[in-house]
Amino acid sequence: MRITVLLFARLRDIAGTANLDRNLPEGSTARFLWKTLVQDFPDFESYSDVISTAVNEEYARIDSELSDGDEVAFLPPVSGG
C-alpha cells in the first residue's frame, strides 16, 4: 500500500524534505512506518519516544493501522516562546 509521509521541524531538516512516499505491506502500522524511516534516517531515533503522529490530519496512536492512500504526519515536540 502507498503512504504519504509528512515531516515537520527538525525531522524535515534531517530528511532534507517535507514529503516522502512509502510502499508498505498491508496491515502496517504507523509504528512500522516510523521504524522504516529510522532505518533510512538514523538521527530520527532520538525522537522515537516523543514523536506525535497524525493520520489524515487527525492525531492518532503510533500503533494505528494504516490504509492505502493514508497521509501520515510525524511531529516532533514543539518549543519556543
Digit-coded pLDDT (tens) for 12-48: 999 999 999 999 999 999 999 999 999 999 999 999 9
Residue in 41, 64, 39 with CA at minimum distance from that of residue 52: 64
CA-CA-CA-CA dihedral for 78, 41, 15, 65, to nearest 10: -70
Q: What pLDDT sits at residue 50?
A: 95
Q: What pLDDT sits at residue 81?
A: 56
CA distance 45 to 57: 23
Q: What pLDDT sits at residue 80?
A: 59
Contact assessment for residue 66 and residue 56, using Cβ atoms and an 8 Å cutoff: no
CA distance 53 to 11: 13
The CATH superfamily holding the domain 2-75 is Beta-grasp domain (3.10.20.30)
